[in-house]
Structure 1
């Protein structure tokens, strides 16, 4: 079996290096130009997302409510609950940043395109995957900031006025606009889907660059070392294994899902969205010197989930059984 190399992961690393050696783009006019570009880019990403949403496929996947509850429960409840017991153990500021970075990852919605692709490869329930992947991001607009406000010091930021309105303005309104204009531009989006995918990734790279440039300029990474990165990688692997294992047990032995639904639960419930994480972090960590630290687990999780789930999806495809 050949694994397809994901050039986007390499691009993420390159932009982090670029932020370290050349933070001038972020510093130009106090970052206002870059913030303006990314805001417009994010709105366009979700406008195109609205254009691609299929009402027929969403309707087809709506019936299996047990599967939907498990996937959304794993995404927004199980993930965070696995992190909460470690909160009382925090003793230093660095430990707090470490825990918050993982909790931010845990509170995020699931991926959209990659979840559907992996479910398709493994021959799972594709309509249910499309339904859950689509609504997960919309639910996350409400749930993710709600989780984070309990532990993140927003300072002068108004959670309701700044964070929620910012997410509604750059995600919900563009999605609704896309849905309303789907009749006119839906075919155009499908035709240029590959190019639009590159556009999405370009905006994410700019957000990642901005966050890391701010952290490098402020010197926040000077308090960390290689051991910190090793702990993050170990935490990412452990978190994925725990969630994936628990979803498997619940799906197969408690809810007794068939093969297709089990695959969909595993792939949609165990993944996290780098796209939404980049956008949410832009508002949740506004002017935070630790923004780069908060993105580290998410980016490592993104790379790890693609690698592992691709291997698993290919095995399910070849074997035809769980």
Structure 2
């Protein structure tokens, strides 16, 4: 009985991952359900879902926490350089070494992964768990999302020689501004009026972005399957996407820790740098992919790296957060020094 309860509890905890896998499986066997113009008409409702997600994100952002975290300029510089400079540099090295074995659409997916902003919710959650600099984490993750409206399409254009395959750069930025930035700003402006509502229904609201992502994944893979995704590639594509994502994650985590220590940052600031600088957002990544690559026949392949990266970063960063959290507090260290007769 206890084993079945444990299994059910674990399945409930991992329902989002299972739902993503289910969306890919459903798209694989019934692509007409979610494809553009299909039975669910997901191409029509997706833009509204994206705008709603970013409105709720703006509603949940604490203005006071953003203000408190704004002054740590060295950590901000490190995080944004990791997100928008280190990742693209690694992509050029990665493609030089392994590009000959990558399908062009998957290579574009890795370029897109490296151009994405950091994630907000899990970066802050991991920083809280690890006892890091939470105000700086909120500021950096939020700033990264705003910068991504311009830098993500610009970096994709630079790395992959395309501004999103279907949109000119200026039009791409304007469309992202309309569907991402304006709803986020609206959420911030309405926060004083709707904050109590948001806090009362926080658990339900947190489910909205995940269900929007699931529907967007279903839509993206339905279009790709209908265009011959599995006919042209197969399981080898999944293995390459998973391994490539793992390489990027491990390298960036190690380099961001090294850079934080070389800069002489405190442990709390190092935690923020590692978790904000190494993460990439699935919540923004899938909607942005639909906006930038909506007419691309292989948009499902393009989002594969961020889907794998999202799960891998949660696993690795959860383990790192627990290790950071297990360090002695300053009070405990001082007490130990006193008991040992050492000066504090």
Within 5 Å, which residues of 2 pair with 1:306-321? 306-320=314-328
Shift of 1:141: 0.6
Q: Which residue of structure 1 aligns with residue 237 of structure 2?
A: 228
Within 5 Å, which residues of 2 pair with 1:103-252? 103-150=111-158, 151-153=160-162, 154=164, 157-161=167-171, 163-252=172-261
Q: Which residue of structure 1 aligns with residue 29 of structure 2?
A: 21
- Cα distance between partner residues in 1 of 2:99 and 2:266: 45
SS of residue paired to 2:326:
helix
Q: Which residue of structure 2 aligns with residue 283 of structure 1?
A: 291
Moved over 6 A (4+): 89-93
Q: Is the CA contact 1:90–1:96 (under 8 Å) kept in the aligned structure 2?
A: no
Shift of 1:157: 3.0
- Cα distance between partner residues in 2 of 1:14 and 1:63: 43
Within 5 Å, which residues of 2 pair with 1:62-77? 62-77=70-85
Q: Is 1:292 the equivalent of 2:300?
A: yes
Shift of 1:197: 1.1
SS of residue paired to 1:319:
coil
The TM-score normalised by the length of structure 2 is 0.87
Deviations 1:150-183 (A, max 9, x none): 325455533322x222211111111111111111
Q: Is the CA contact 1:87–1:99 (under 8 Å) kept in the aligned structure 2?
A: yes
State the structure with more CA Rg: 2
SS of residue paired to 2:211:
helix
Q: Is 1:80 the equivalent of 2:65?
A: no
Cα distance change of structure 1 residues 152 and 194 upon mapping to structure 2, 3 Å threshold: farther
Q: Count matched residues.
A: 318
Shift of 1:52: 1.6
Cα distance change of structure 1 residues 91 and 192 upon mapping to structure 2, 3 Å threshold: closer
Shift of 1:91: 7.3
Pick aligned residue for 2:51 from 33, 43, 54: 43
Shift of 1:32: 8.8
The TM-score normalised by the length of structure 1 is 0.92
Shift of 1:229: 2.2
Give the alignment's Cα RMSD to 1 decimal.
2.2
Gaps of 5+ in 1: none
Shift of 1:87: 4.2
- Cα distance between partner residues in 2 of 1:217 and 1:240: 31
Bigger CA drift: 179-188 or 86-95? 86-95
Cα distance change of structure 1 residues 265 and 205 upon mapping to structure 2, 3 Å threshold: same
Gaps of 5+ in 2: 1-5, 330-344
Deviations 1:16-51 (A, max 9, x none): 111111222324735893122111111111111111
Shift of 1:146: 0.4
Deviations 1:178-215 (A, max 9, x none): 11111111121122111111111010011100000001
